[in-house]
Amino acid sequence: MYEIKDLTGVAFHKIAECMRAAFSDYYVKMELSDDALYHRFHSENVRYDLSCGVFVGDELVAVLLNAVGQYNNEQVAFDAATGVVPAHRRKGLYSKMMDFCMVLLKQHDFAYYGLEVIQTNAPAVATYQKMGLKIMKEYACFRGNAKETATGTEDFQELAINDFPLETLSPLMHDAPSFENRTEILQAFPEDYRIMFTGMPKQCAAFIIYQKENGHVKQWGRREGHVSELGQLMVNLSGRFQDVRLHNINFTDQEWILTLEELGFDHFCDQYEMKLDC
């Protein structure tokens, strides 16, 4: 009944349709158009020849999309998105897709395979651990807007990221960006992003890099003692967009997590980053 194949040559609208159906009852819904999903997966460097889907005849009922790229100075593969249509769950399809993809991935020189999973999704976490994946980091995820009483700042600048020396920002980051927020993506599609910052470009005190279309924050950072300025920049951004998103804040940065909570942003979920050596 079920047939697993790589996704080479599969029409993208079928992949997008499957993803929307798979996330229709999920805690974090995927309600994106074909064009938006295509752009997202293209920017993350999803490799369809290293990804797979489960077919029932011509119907695609499950997908596992793998992206590849440089991450922390290593070439890695990463689960960009996985979904199983509700009617086809509890049939072991994810494990079968993982087995299929690992055969493909091991033909390449990847340091490891990584993924992110919501912590409250206990069955998924247990499945990943059973398959040998280990928890490496814990992330907090925020969305929504700052409360009305929160104040921003007028003492800031804003530039296209091509006009800013991105190489100067690493010392301001508490942790390296997650795979989905890596600098490689920003540099591949610079027209999609802008940077808002306080101070001077080569010596800024706080910054956020956000997606122009929707206000989703990709990278952020501040110098010691400047968390309030970083919060003010988030308030500025909140005033422009209906639903700001900032995902994958390392749990070790409790100062920033508490600041966002105090500003009124919704701490809606926490995630694990897990990995399996290839």
CA 221 to chain CA centroid, Å, is: 17
- The per-residue pLDDT for 24 is 85
88-127 burial by CB neighbour count: b if 16+ within 10 A, else e?
Answer: beeeebbebbbebbbebbeeeebebbbbbbbeebeebbeb
Residue 270, SS3?
strand
Which helix (H) or strand (E) segment is 115 a member of?
A: strand 112-118
CA 247 to chain CA centroid, Å, is: 7
List, for residues 120-168, the tens digit of each pLDDT value: 999 889 999 999 999 999 999 999 999 999 999 999 999 999 999 999 9
Nearest residue to 235 via CA among 164, 173, 140, 145: 145
Global pTM? 0.92
125 belongs to a structural domain: no
Measured on CA atoms in the order 150, 151, 156, 160, is the torsion positive or negative?
Answer: positive
Residue 100 has pLDDT above 90, yes or no: yes
Q: How confident is the model at residue 25 (pLDDT cuts 50, 70, 90)?
A: confident
Both 79 and 162 in one domain: the answer is no
Rounded Cα gap, residues 82 and 92, in angstroms:
13
Rounded Cα gap, residues 138 and 242, in angstroms:
27
List, for residues 204-217, the tens digit of each pLDDT value: 999 999 999 999 99
Both 96 and 165 in one domain: the answer is no
Rounded Cα gap, residues 15 and 104, in angstroms:
19
Residues ≥6 apart with Cβ < 8 Å to 7: 15, 48, 49, 51, 52, 53, 63, 65
Both 163 and 220 in one domain: the answer is yes
Residue 27 has pLDDT above 70, yes or no: no
List, for residues 63-97, the tens digit of each pLDDT value: 999 999 999 889 999 999 999 999 999 999 999 99
CATH of the domain at 76: 3.40.630.30
CA 252 to chain CA centroid, Å, is: 18
Rounded Cα gap, residues 75 and 105, in angstroms:
12
Both 106 and 157 in one domain: the answer is no
Q: Which domain holds residue 180?
A: 142-271
Both 161 and 71 in one domain: the answer is no
Sheet holding 266-277, edge to edge: 3-6, 52-56, 59-71, 74-84, 112-118, 266-277, 134-144, 244-250, 216-222, 203-211, 193-200, 157-160
Residue 31 has pLDDT above 70, yes or no: no
- The per-residue pLDDT for 28 is 61
131 belongs to a structural domain: no
Residues ≥6 apart with Cβ < 8 Å to 159: 194, 195, 197, 201
Cross-strand partners of 70: 75
Measured on CA atoms in the order 45, 51, 56, 57, is the torsion positive or negative?
Answer: positive
82 belongs to a structural domain: yes
117 belongs to a structural domain: no
Structure token digits, residue 152: 């921003």
239 belongs to a structural domain: yes
Q: What is the mean pLDDT of the chain?
A: 95
Both 7 and 89 in one domain: the answer is yes
Residue 237 has pLDDT above 70, yes or no: yes
159 belongs to a structural domain: yes
